[in-house]
Chain A
């Protein structure tokens, strides 16, 4: 796929702008890129004005649900005599999602600055980063960046002479997708099994230790400092009216150049593919997810859907985490959905029956269909079980488990039926591998790059 079309000024690196500079994870480099200028601006304003500014800018949560960030802050009751907490959700585990981890690896100070601003706004003096445990390189950089911030007087007592105190505790999880659900995350951070809580009360009223708590995604918080430094009008000038701003789109799968593409909200997959070299040479798009495996899948007919909250919603899916997983015609959709379903079954926390039992039975059905042992009525049974999970489970994990099944049956029912009729999977998994057609251009495999120094 080539791009002879006029390359419409599509990309806007903000969070990623420093990533090719020298040691961008350090405070010195971060400061060269307007680092901690947003904090200075925030500290010059009353906390309520900071909340109002973030709200007026229209920043919406980047972790999946898209809830307005400033509104979450505003829900925190003030002068209630209780401690307030900020908890950053860095448990990035949604299949396909890979934005917060590279962001924190390259630029952890963007998060720390955002956390200081958010803590100032909600009057919190102890904030937490809940980082999934399986990413030690990121944990290492977060530890170092927090230490650097303390040494520079950006954390601790009387930050920059403002009279404001803030401690940040970096907390490593231990492997549980469900902890990305904000109330499960809070239970986990309290030293318990990560199981979701009944809401209400919402975390803004009774969160960590039953105190008012804001839980925000990494990218949401990291997007705050540029808004303070450059103004809400600048932010609203990017993206669309209801989905303003910039965001990280993560392109992966059967594409020529997988990676992070920071752009205003509302770009389309067609535009991103045109820019980045398209689907891998000699192949064509079959299906893709707009925001991780829990968002109903799209096909070629959705290439021009604006990738913002409203656009993707109107087309029947969700923007989610903007994890654009692209699969070409060599991929068996039944295999893909089976694997995702195995994931949901493995990660179901066991608290509610529809999800715990439903995901188990979905796996049994899908595995036998993929193996060519499905029987008549299996597809109806799949839909029936998915319907008994979707909207009827305790948290969104169950809804997510139903999404790939329902959407794939909507778009590719014939492929499921082919598995039943032929009593086998008609695809060759070897054809889907990255090495099937030789090395990707400019994307040497590990063997060629000699990682083994």
Chain B
């Protein structure tokens, strides 16, 4: 008899070491408790095991199956359906370049080519030092900021080949980079833990990077009578009806008005 190497994973997969299993089981119990039926926690649990290892391993699948009383086949069927669950380890910083039509046309294709050439890796591969993996991604709901690059699913808007190259250089050199929308980066595993449903506990992280860039505020600025870049500065007032039909308050709020004080005892206890 000769052993034939088929490249298939050994089954059953080895379990996590006991201390890891116990820690993750406590997390899993918390996640499961948020749903009326346990199986609803499967996607969060897959994010959780991805947070442990940087990808969804056979061991992670076994763990999820045990927590939910499913077979590993059932969990595998789910894990392989969703693109965010990785079957191989991601880099510490997973860089996604949008190459859906709008971003691609506006420069995303060029940016993705540039990154592949610059890093010497191709789609879904990781640099040898393990810091950066790249992937071309689908529309990430930021078309008004195109071309868009994501790092660990934080937004890096309005990119160019040059800015994207500098971005990955800085990531590899350990220099701090800040997303245009989102908080300062944590590693791919820490990001996966937030996705599992455990809030980011870094102080101030939620308040970083403001409410959005110029595109988010474009319409609001026009409505306030401000000019946008490249426009003649026409003043626009809302609403469009010639005569206000009702005595309702104006649609827009005065900017920076004094905070109205709530009547006490009506809104419950704040914090």
Contacts and interface: CB of A to CB of B under 8 A. Distances in A.
Interface of A: 2-4, 7-14, 16-25, 27-28, 31-34, 36, 40, 83, 92-98, 100-102, 105-107, 126, 132-137, 139-141, 143-144, 147-148, 151-154, 160-161, 169-177, 188-194, 209, 230-231, 233-234, 237-238, 246, 249-254, 256-264, 275-277, 281, 293, 323, 325, 327, 331, 335-336, 339-340, 343, 346-347, 349, 429-430, 432-435, 440-447, 449, 451-453
A110 B71 CA distance: 40
Contacts of A96: 102, 139, 143
Interface of B is mostly: loop
Given A171-B43, A233-B245, 15 more contacts: A9-B236, A13-B223, A23-B211, A27-B270, A32-B259, A105-B211, A133-B195, A137-B209, A152-B269, A191-B40, A259-B144, A259-B215, A277-B228, A434-B107, A434-B146
B154 A258 contact: no
B141 A441 contact: no
| Residue with the highest number of chain B CB atoms closer than 10 Å, among A34, A137, A151, A343 | A137
A260 B183 contact: no
Contact of B153 (A134, A143, A435): A134
Interface residues of B, number: 122
Given A137-B181, A343-B138, A277 B229 contact: yes
B153 A133 contact: yes
Interface stretch (B4-12, B75-83, B121-129): B75-83
Interface in B62-110: 68, 77-78, 81-85, 96, 99-102, 104-107, 109-110
Contacts of B44: 171-172
Contacts of A93: 138-139, 141
B178 A453 contact: yes
Contact of B230 (A133, A171, A256, A336): A256
B215 A258 contact: yes
Given A237-B241, A446-B158, A140 B183 contact: yes
A12 B157 CA distance: 26
B166 interface: yes
A21 B255 contact: yes
| Residue with the highest number of chain A CB atoms closer than 10 Å, among B104, B138, B150, B180 | B138
A336 B252 CA distance: 38
A442 B139 contact: no
27 contacts: A3-B234, A10-B238, A11-B223, A31-B267, A105-B181, A133-B153, A135-B153, A137-B181, A151-B269, A151-B270, A152-B268, A161-B268, A174-B43, A249-B219, A251-B144, A253-B106, A256-B231, A257-B231, A259-B217, A260-B217, A260-B218, A262-B219, A277-B229, A325-B102, A434-B147, A440-B229, A451-B163
A143 B137 CA distance: 25
Contacts of A253: 102, 105-106, 143, 146
Contacts, number: 412
B143 A257 contact: no
| Residue with the highest number of chain A CB atoms closer than 10 Å, among B36, B78, B170, B194 | B36
A23 B216 CA distance: 14
B231 A331 contact: no
- Listed from nearest, the 4 A-B pairs whose CB atoms lie closest are A442-B229, A153-B268, A259-B218, A191-B42
Contacts of B141: 92-93, 97-98, 100-101, 132, 135
Given A234-B246, A452-B170, A453-B176, A136 B255 contact: no
Nearest to A251: B144
Contacts of A170: 197
B271 to A, nearest CB: 5
Contacts of A277: 228-231
A379 B144 CA distance: 32
Contact of B155 (A137, A343, A443): A137
| Residue with the highest number of chain B CB atoms closer than 10 Å, among A4, A13, A19, A25 | A13
Contacts of A132: 141
| Residue with the highest number of chain B CB atoms closer than 10 Å, among A106, A174, A234, A254 | A174
B140 A135 contact: yes
A258 B251 contact: no
A335 B109 CA distance: 12
